[in-house]
């Protein structure tokens, strides 16, 4: 009999656990969604509570060009694509199974203004420019990876562009918010519910004053 898979994470590029797809349903921003999920992918059994808070909190303009970093099977990026109906959303994940699911879920839910890419953080979209980046980040990947992802996102946001992210309070939300503030200049807490916090960081331009921090 096989034992547990040691060292397996939802952010493995090729999850070592056998695929066993299933469908889940969720009502997000007033719309019914069906998602195909799978083993080895974050939030397999239900849309995560932090993901839900991020989705309900994020504010997007119809023409926004949006980046979803660490898209998983796609809930954040696909809902964002409905709000940014005249814009476009690029969903990125390092997990090939997640990328495949996000593509399937875009088709399943009739969302066409999206592109799903397999890749590491912002490097896969280097050279492009986004108005907004949204993420439920891979906290378990560790601080160094998280801060690298934040910097890479900062590189592809336009000046004045926004990074909107959710973190569980018990998983270091306030610390990460302070670290993001040091990189972006400002961070504002947008929501705080059920043990999760949603923050927004605005990319300063070249004339931005020294970093400050609000509401963190």
Ligand X SMILES: C[S@@+](CC[C@H](N)C(=O)[O-])C[C@H]1O[C@@H](n2cnc3c(N)ncnc32)[C@H](O)[C@@H]1O
Interface contacts to ligand X, rule CB under 6 A: 10-11, 42-43, 48, 51, 69-72, 75-76, 92-95, 98, 120-121, 136, 138, 141, 149
Q: Least distance to ligand X from the beta carbon of 137, Å?
A: 6
How near is the Cβ of 72 to ligand X at its closest, in Å? Answer: 3
The pair of structure tokens assigned to 77 is: 């990026």
Nearer to ligand X, 135 or 186 (CB): 135
| Strands 88-93 vs 114-118: parallel, antiparallel or unpaired | parallel
Q: Measured in Å, how far apart are the chain's first and last C-alpha atoms? A: 49
Nearer to ligand X, 32 or 45 (CB): 45
CB under 8 Å to 103, separation ≥6 — which residues?
116
Tokens of 33: 């969604």
Least distance to ligand X, CB of residue 187, Å: 19
The least distance separating ligand X from the CB of residue 101, rounded to whole angstroms, comes to 10
Mutual angle of helices 49-57 and 75-83, in 10-degree steps: 10
Q: Which residues contact 68 (CB under 8 A, 6 or more apart)?
A: 74, 76, 77, 80, 89, 90, 91, 92, 133, 134, 135
Buried b / exposed e along 62-73 (16+ C-beta atoms within 10 A) = eebbbbbbbbbb
d(CA 4, CA 9) in angstroms, rounded, equals 12
**Nearest approach, Cβ of 120 to ligand X (angstroms)?**
4
């Amino acid at each position: 009999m096989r034992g547990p898979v040691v060292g397996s994470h939802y952010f493995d590029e090729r999850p070592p656990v056998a695929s066993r797809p299933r469908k889940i349903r969720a009502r997000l921003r007033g719309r019914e969604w069906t998602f195909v999920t799978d083993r080895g992918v974050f939030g397999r059994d239900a849309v995560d509570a932090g993901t839900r808070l991020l989705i309900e909190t994020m504010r997007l303009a119809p023409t926004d060009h949006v980046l979803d970093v660490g898209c998983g099977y796609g809930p954040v990026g696909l809902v964002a694509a409905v709000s940014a109906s005249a814009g476009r959303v690029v969903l990125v994940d390092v997990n090939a199974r997640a990328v495949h699911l996000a593509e399937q879920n875009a088709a399943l839910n009739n969302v066409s203004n999206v592109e799903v890419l397999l890749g590491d953080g912002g490097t896969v979209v280097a050279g492009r420019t986004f108005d907004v980046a949204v993420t439920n980040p891979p906290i378990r990947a560790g601080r160094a990876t998280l801060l690298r992802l934040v910097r890479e996102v900062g590189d592809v946001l336009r000046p004045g562009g926004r990074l909107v992210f959710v973190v569980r309070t018990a998983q270091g939300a306030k610390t990460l918010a302070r670290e993001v503030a040091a990189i972006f200049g400002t961070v504002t807490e947008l929501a705080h519910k059920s043990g999760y916090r949603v923050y927004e960081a605005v990319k300063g331009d070249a004339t931005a004053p020294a970093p400050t921090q609000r509401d963190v």
